[in-house]
Amino acid sequence: MNVETETPKPSRPLSPQMRFVLNLIGGVLVVVGFAGIILPILPGVPLLIVAAACFARSSPRLEHWLVSHPVLGPGIIAWRERRAISTKAKFMALGMMTISGVVLVLSGAPAIFKALALASMAGIASFIATRPGH
């Protein structure tokens, strides 16, 4: 994958402060995203995709490192090229949402909060389920 041709360049140069902020956010997201690859509770690849977007605007070198990393990069590349989500990630996300939904329904939360949360989960689940797998 050629990062130079795949990543849109910002329309105007970033200030050093904004570059620092984007690098900081990207770095935090990489750490949390890496933890999410190991822990099924955290969404690893979506955080890495956002980290790559931050780095794309602030540091092409860091973006290239992240995208070409043998463990962290494949999910980002699959998303950029085909908007694909791995079958394992789909299964985990949909399973965790199902468990969360059951716990929510059995909880004593007000009905309006249950309805809003379940509607949100249904929308997100339908998005995830309709993405191509890899």
Tokens of 58: 């602030």
Distance CA 114, CA 120 (A): 10
The pLDDT of residue 43 is: 80
The pLDDT of residue 5 is: 39
pTM of full prediction above 0.75: no
Q: Which amino acid is at 53?
A: A
Contacts of 24 (CB under 8 A, 6+ apart): none
Distance CA 22, CA 17 (A): 9
Tens place of pLDDT for every residue, the chain, 134 residues? 555 435 555 567 889 999 999 999 999 999 998 888 887 777 888 899 999 999 999 999 999 999 999 989 999 999 999 999 989 888 888 998 999 999 999 999 999 999 999 999 999 999 999 999 87
Distance CA 119, CA 122 (A): 5
The pLDDT of residue 7 is: 54
CB burial of residue 29 (10 Å; 0-12, 13-18, 19+): buried
Distance CA 134, CA 84 (A): 6
Distance CA 22, CA 2 (A): 21
